[in-house]
Structures are given as C-alpha cells and as structure tokens.
Amino acid sequence: MKRREFITLLGGAAALPVAARAQQPERMRRVGVLMAFESGPLAQNYLTAFRQALQEKGWAEGRNIRIDERWSGADADRLRVYAAEMVSLKPDVILAGGGRAMAALQAQTRDIPIVFEGPTDPVRQGFVASMARPGGNMTGFSSFEVSIIGKLLEALKEIAPHTARVALMFHPDITAATDYLHLLEAVAPSFSVKPIAAPSRDPAEIERAIDALAKEPNCALMLAQDVFMVSQRDLIVRLVATHRLPAVYPFREYVTSGGLLSYGADAIERYQLAASYVDRILRGEKPAELPVQAPTKFELIINLKTARALGLEVPPTLLARADEVIE
C-alpha cells in the first residue's frame, strides 16, 4: 500500500467515531408532572401551555424529552402513592402542581429538582428557605398575592353592594388557612363587612356551612385557594345558586362551572414560566439558586348568566375591568 493511501485510510478511520457520535440521537431527558387536582379541560390547558413553552425552548417530546404525568384528583392517599411512584422513576426534574403535590414530593425526596406552581406562601409552608434564595431542591411560582382578597371583596361589593357578612370557606388542614382568614379580617372593615370563618373538610361540612350562611341576611361566600375546594366546585356552585348567595372565587374553574366571579393569578402564565425554570434546570442550573417568583398577571372573570340568575346587576365599571365575560 502506498504511503499516501495509508495516511488517507488512517485519517478516515480516526474520523469515524466523531461522525458516529454526531449521528447519535440526543440523550432523552425525563420530566415528571404531579398534579394535585383532577385532569379537567382547564387543567389540561395549563399543561398544554407548559408543553408548548418547553418546545419553544428546544425540548421535543419523543426526541429529547419524555414527560410522565400523574393526576391525583385531590385525593390525598392517591397523591402520596403517585409522589412515591414519580420519585422512583428518577426524573431529571419534576413539575408539582399545587401545594399538596409539593408536600407529597417533599416527603419522598430532597434531591430531585422540583419546580412548583401554586403554593400561597412557600416560605411559611416550609418548601423554601427564602423567595430570593430557595436553598434546597425546590423553586417555582406562587399563585397568591395579598392584594387578591381585597380585590375579591371590592368586586363583591360592587356586584352585591348590600353584602354585610362574608364567610371564608377553606379546608382546615391547609397551612395557609390562618393567613387567609387574617388577611380577610384585616381588609373587611374597609368594605364594611363582617368576616366569618367557614372551615369545611368534606362535602357534608360544605353543605352545612352554606346552609347556615344562607340563614343570615346579606351574606356572601369567598373561597380560599385549595385544590380540595376546587374539586368540590360543582357542589359549591350548585348550593350557592340554590340559596341565591353571591360568591367570589380565586380560580376561573369555579366561574366556568357556573360561579359568579373570580379574581386570581393567571395560571397559563405561571405554567409557561414553570417551563422556563424546567428548561434552565435541564441545562444545568440549580433550583436552590433560582428565585421563587410571585404572580404578576391577574385575571377577572365574570359570569353574566349567573349574575342575572341571582338578580344581580353587574356595574359597567366592573365589566370594563373584566378580562373575560361569560354570557
């Protein structure tokens, strides 16, 4: 063999491993999704926004990323089982939807990175050391800002000006229940209403609380942010309609189910932002160094059909502020 031919052959052989590596598929990354609520149309919209945002960052399902979903439907036992199952899959990062999902995952791992959406106060709830520097394996996006309760009361008084008592319904086991009640008690005098606590841990207690509220004059209902209450929204909406009680809610799910009015953080935006943190973690950043972010975008949803059924007139000023009006 001539020397030139030998060198050419040798060079080609040396180049083969490089070419082979270039043709190999990207390493598949695994993302877990644990949702504390049921897989309804609106909740699926949130995950669709999450997936689309990931795709915009260069992550394509089946090519370089796999997403494993688990939905608990607000069932605490099922949530614990799914949290253990999710951790056993050893994903690169987990998206936790709701504070209860975070608590279930926290009991299973302090190592796997977790990006959360939904807690009211992640510092007080013990998920992170601080908003600026979470310090552990969790970071993400809160769904609550203290002005929300004042905004709900303001809208309530505009649409039902004779309201004199407002009952806050919450599951007594949620960590933020006391905070919600204290905030309501702090702002209630500004709107000339008396705050009432209505803790309810099951459908029977919900029914008793609403029945008792309906016996008092000029009463209204406010719901705290909790996945259990969201899971009971059809019952709650039906009961307040039966008793012709004005009620205001923190999530749009209630209003699309027939509730009167909601004001709260934009969930679509939060899931899109969660995708940005998942992307950064997959590319090597640490959740301990990614600051927890409070909501900045809010939405007011009004159900005009429900208002008419309750005999309530929605002022033009309130309609003008609405992000969405359901006819």
- pLDDT per position as a tens digit, 32-43: 999 998 888 888
| pLDDT class of 25 with cuts at 50, 70, 90 | low
Q: Give CA–CA dist 123/102, Å, rounded.
A: 13
Q: Is residue 5 part of a domain?
A: no
Are residues 115 and 171 both part of a single domain? no
pLDDT beyond 80 at 86: yes
Are residues 201 and 68 both part of a single domain? no
| pLDDT class of 180 with cuts at 50, 70, 90 | confident
Are residues 275 and 135 both part of a single domain? yes
- Alpha-carbon separation of residue 288 from 25, 95, 114 (angstroms): 30, 15, 10
CB 322 within 8 A of CB 275: no
End-to-end CA distance of the chain: 86
**Domain range enclosing 158:** 147-264+299-326
Are residues 213 and 225 both part of a single domain? yes
Neighbours of 140 (CB within 10 A): 29
Number of helices followed by number of strands (H, E) in the chain? 13, 12
Q: Give CA–CA dist 148/296, Å, rounded.
A: 11
Q: What is the percent of the chain with per-residue pLDDT over 70, rounded to a whole number?
A: 92
Q: Identify the pLDDT of residue 149.
A: 94
Tokens of 313: 């007139």
Are residues 321 and 183 both part of a single domain? yes
Q: Give me the CATH number covering residue 49.
A: 3.40.50.2300
Degrees to nearest 5, angle at CA 36 with 272 and 276: 20
**How would you class 325 by CB atoms within 10 Å of its CB: exposed for 0-12, middle for 13-18, buried for 19 or more?**
middle
Tokens of 279: 């992307």
Are residues 235 and 309 both part of a single domain? yes
